[in-house]
Amino acid sequence: MSLHSQQFIEGKRVQRVAVLWRSKPMAQEILYCSNHKDIETTLRCAKCDKPICGKCVVFTDVDTRCRECARLQRIPTYNVSPIYLVRGLVGGLAIGVAAGFTLALLLTVGLPGQLGRVAGIVGPLAIIAIGYTVGETVTLVTNKKRGPALQAVGVASLVVGYLVLEALTPWLIIGSLFGIIAAIVAIAIVVGRLQ
């Protein structure tokens, strides 16, 4: 290969690389973090659009935000609108009644002849089961909203579920020490889930 053609090929390659380089999409705009003026970044807050660096970025459920906007997002979770309160109440009460009824049915059908031996254990466990179900349901129907109002809704639903269970299965021993502990655990589950 002559020196000339060698140069030609080299030149062509350089040309192709140059074309490739030029056809690459424009590099992302280089920004500087609004909190750290010396840190380059390509990130922006999804809410207020200000540039943020890796140190400042907060990953929320839906997007990436600056610290200020991430804080803003948390407020609506606690700021429960009446619609969500009604949804929580309807969902919570419905599932409380359904859980109480279902458990009563299962226990009545499923434990014939065993009642004397397990009544003192099954009753408390059933209360905890209602608490768990109510807590999960209220969370689900309110889009993960939380706060004192929904905690009250959850506990009310738990009490209603308990009353349904108690009314349908008077043979369950719930008023024992184990039952009281179970009631506290159930309330703690509901309150904790909606905190």
Residues that bind Zn ion (CB under 5 A): 33, 35-36, 45, 47-48, 53, 55-56, 66, 69
Min dist CB 163 to Zn ion, Å, is 48
> For Zn ion, which is the closer residue by CB, 13 or 55?
55
Chain CA centroid to CA 114, Å: 39
> Minimal distance in Å, beta carbon 189 to Zn ion?
35
Give the shortest CB-45-to-Zn ion separation in angstroms. Answer: 3
Nearest residue (CB) to Zn ion, 60 versus 176: 60
Q: DSSP string of 13-41?
A: HHHHHHHHHHHSPPPPPPEE-SSSTT-EE
Alpha helices by DSSP H, listed for the chain, are 3-23, 67-78, 82-110, 115-141, 148-168, 177-193
- Give the nearest distance from C-beta 54 to Zn ion in angstroms: 7
User: Can you name the residues that pair with 58 across neighbouring β-strands?
Assistant: 65
CB 127 within 8 A of CB 183: yes
Closest CA to 44 of 25, 24, 27, 63: 63
94 contacts 160 by C-beta, under 8 angstroms: no
Nearer to Zn ion, 70 or 160 (CB): 70
Q: How far is the CB of 143 from Zn ion (least distance, A)?
A: 22
Which of 19/48 has CB closer to Zn ion? 48
Q: In the complex with Zn ion, which residue's Cβ is closer, 8 or 32?
A: 32
